[in-house]
Structure 1
């Protein structure tokens, strides 16, 4: 029963990891950079929801419906932040040395963290969502309701992104730029605008998931790094640019970490995760859903 409880907990938190990682995968696949500031979009999304709920209720406490009403605000604000960052800074280093792109996105991450500390202090904060009964007890398992809401929310955001990429004109343009930017430009696609939109969407998804994270964990300005690292591991697990791969990788990572924390120690979770990453790279270098590179 303990094993089953850990697996359930892992799947619940794994979907949240996956929701963060799909945006990271999108940027890596389309813009071809590793965005070290991605985790900070999660942090900003959590704070946006926190302050929006505080504006509505006078404090960061409210009903589930009031909290859910703040999600569109987090998504919209982070879309604008991502779009502006790509247009003003990231676009200048696309196609240059990979070290330069890492340096620029790392610099953006540090700047965002410091601005957040100056604006909101380093004190941890969280959103309190009221439930008459905070958990569900079924078949001997305990499922926190807010974790279940966050699980569903992360899956909805992931599914919405996948459908957007598959079914909309903008989504097809993003996929075209990902596959061949030069050919996309020849058929009339504005590559720079599409890349900026992609960056905005990636940040928006991270911000939406960050709002859910603020209800189950404390948020603070320097929380972004761990989500960037986890996103990197998940994307490599699933295959660069693969949304289904990011979902599978997130669920896998969450389950592995919960089992490790439950049966060994929480201090070993990162070590076990990166060991699993190394083993996967040896066995299947392109990830679970990655495609072989054309020669």
Structure 2
């Protein structure tokens, strides 16, 4: 448990990926700081309860209003609401694929205490583990630290502030409950895959936030097959891109939209300023070793 006045909640949303979730939960047993509460939001997945049964977590069943569509924003908000109700003063969101390093929570807490007068989203370095990774013990994973090169990775014990809000990622981040309340959580207009985390960053920027990159708050992303671009999420991404454009006046996920256009799956109509599905092209999976 934490010491002092900080009461820290971890929030994990899950649908499937049971082996990944089990490894995450096992890792928290070796954390230098244990979460005061860990909320696992089971998105239309009743089997999550059995996976978490031997761990000190609360499983929160969640069903959206659109069958078959994962409502990631609403699920995160539901987990945060449960954590706040449990008395949390700090929220740590951790993707189900991520194994926390032993000092992840400790470093988030120390960084937040040191910068308590600032409005910040706290993000730690993430290492993407390769397909053939066989070691998953959080006490040993430090040997494989190789942070994603597109994000800052300060040294152990260091915190680097940045105004480049588009580098924010939701797979591992922390925020005080006071700041969470001021932002109102994730915008619930996003359904399925893509856009809701970039929207959250835009909202934070609009409200005067910066990112604090927290050295030593390592997470290790377990491999799973992905497509690049994620053609299986084409319709979700196009719909969410339109939501984002209406809210902020710019198009998000431009790399993916361009890749869809190259494959004949989507087209930009300059006359209407709209991206839309073409109905053509081949929906092939392009596997990549890291998620975008």
Give the TM-score normalised by the residue count of structure 2: 0.28
Give the TM-score normalised by the residue count of structure 1: 0.28
Higher RCO (CA 8 Å, separation ≥ 6 residues)? 1
Structure with more helix by fraction:
1
